[in-house]
Amino acid sequence: MRDLAELRQFARLHARGQGIADYEAVLAGITSDEEGAPGSWACQWSAAASAARDRGDLLGASARYAMARFPYVDGPARAQAQEGCVRSFDAWRRGRDDIEPLEVTVDGCRVRAWAAGLSAADPRPLLVVTGGIVSVKEQWAPVLAGAGRIGMAVVVTEMPGVGENAMRYTPQSAGFLSALLDSLGDRADTATTILMALSFSGHLALRCAAEDARIRGVVTVGAPAREFFLDPVWWPRVPRITVDTLSRLTGTKLADSGTPLEDWALPTEILTGLRVPLAYVSCLRDEIIPGSELALLRDHVRDLRVLEYDDVHGAPAHVAETRLWTLATILRMAGRLPVARAGMGLALGLMRARRRLPGATRH
């Protein structure tokens, strides 16, 4: 059973990101994290999901089920929520004609994804999106729905151990990204692939980009590269929810050993040898990723673009600005929509100017 205060703290970013307007009301009604108990985390969020489904809001139901299985499946209630998340999303996408399921097998493990904009007749540059250690692929519905507007094919999936990615998170598991590209070579321009890989999936994206020439750029927010896995002073400060989730995904008893994941640390040669641009959002008050990661990247990555905020992990107070910057960066890396990129640049400038005004409110 987890600490509710910590669960609420880290869940808020994900709830806001998925557009769940009533998340504070749901959080207020949760009294425990006891498996299957009335008022428990999974039960309250699942009830909110059922209510959304009953009023015809299938995507809202999927998002709330995603919160019910947060941070990872550890029992029947969260397992049912995971199934409800996928089932509700599938029902939503069946009402459209532009989103399809994908499945590949990597090292004997099933990896599932959703895709939009795939076409053998008109293969487009490819955007692959992955979240972090607690993020399921279904939360990226708006990105899939917008594939046509950005002129790219889009695939959203999960990092190893999360959702419907049955792999284990190991130092070598970045190969699942290349396996996805292999499966799409006849329906997307995989030679122009951009990876938007947030948090810990950014760690895998960096390794993959160093080895797969089809990847033309990486965009990430708060990704560990080396220092997180090696710093014995930082490690005891990492939130328990992060340690527990990493333990689950890696199959390593981190909470018992208290030892960082040394084998996961990227060799500096990978960073110095990276030949594609890296766009990195860093937060000065990140409680998960040490600031030394950004210093390392500045020292070793030749083409690095940084957006830095006085914020906590994931930049929850700067969601709109981060999304716009990320999209503009992806389009620049892929060489798409120069006029639209110019407009996004102007909008970003206005957002930043407003943020600097005395008394301005952050959202």
> Domains plus CATH for the chain?
4-88 (no CATH), 100-356 (3.40.50.1820)
Residues 6+ apart with CB under 8 A from 354: 360
Q: Which two tokens stand for residue 326?
A: 């990320």
- Report percent pLDDT > 90 for the chain: 83
pLDDT band (50, 70, 90) for residue 115: very high
> Nearest 5°: phi and psi at 190?
-70, -15
What letter does residue 236 receive in the DSSP assignment? G
CA distance linking residue 30 with residue 37, whole number of Å: 10
Within a 10 A sphere around the Cβ of 57, how many other Cβ atoms? 16
pLDDT band (50, 70, 90) for residue 357: low
What are the DSSP calls for 26-88, one per residue?
Answer: HHHT--B--TT-TTBHHHHHHHHHHHHHHTT-HHHHHHHHHHHT-S---SHHHHHHHHHHHHH
pLDDT band (50, 70, 90) for residue 362: very low
pLDDT band (50, 70, 90) for residue 203: very high
95-110 pLDDT, tens digit per residue, is 999 999 999 999 999 9
pTM of this prediction?
0.94
Q: Is 113 helix (H, G, I), strand (E, B) or coil?
A: strand
231-255 pLDDT, tens digit per residue, is 989 989 999 999 999 999 999 988 7
On the CB side of 178, how many CA atoms lie within 13 Å of its CA? Answer: 15
Residues 6+ apart with CB under 8 A from 11: 23, 27, 67, 70
Residue 363: per-residue pLDDT: 30
Residue 1: per-residue pLDDT: 62
Residue 2: per-residue pLDDT: 80
CA distance linking residue 60 with residue 51, whole number of Å: 9
Residues 6+ apart with CB under 8 A from 259: 235
State the amino acid at position 264 in one-letter form.
W
What are the DSSP calls for 114-180, one per residue?
Answer: EEES--SSS--EEEEEE--TT--GGGGHHHHHTHHHHTSEEEEE--TTSTTB-S---TTTTHHHHHH
Q: Are strands 189-197 and 153-157 parallel, antiparallel or unpaired?
A: unpaired
Candidate ranges 186-200, 252-266, 305-319, 332-346; pick with highest mean pLDDT: 186-200
Residues 6+ apart with CB under 8 A from 27: 8, 11, 12
Residue 253: per-residue pLDDT: 86
Least confident of 125-139, 183-197, 218-232, 324-338: 324-338
State the amino acid at position 266 in one-letter form.
L
Average pLDDT, the chain: 93
CA distance linking residue 76 with residue 37, whole number of Å: 12
| 32 strand-pairing partners | 40
Residue 257: per-residue pLDDT: 67
CA distance linking residue 346 with residue 352, whole number of Å: 10
pLDDT band (50, 70, 90) for residue 359: very low
Asked if residue 330 lies in contact with residue 219, where contact means CB atoms within 8 angstroms, the answer is: yes
16 pLDDT above the threshold of 90? no
Determine the length of the chain: 363
CA distance linking residue 219 with residue 226, whole number of Å: 17
**Residue labelled with tokens 């329906």:** 187
Least confident of 151-160, 245-254, 309-318, 333-342: 333-342
59-87 pLDDT, tens digit per residue, is 999 999 999 999 999 999 999 999 999 99
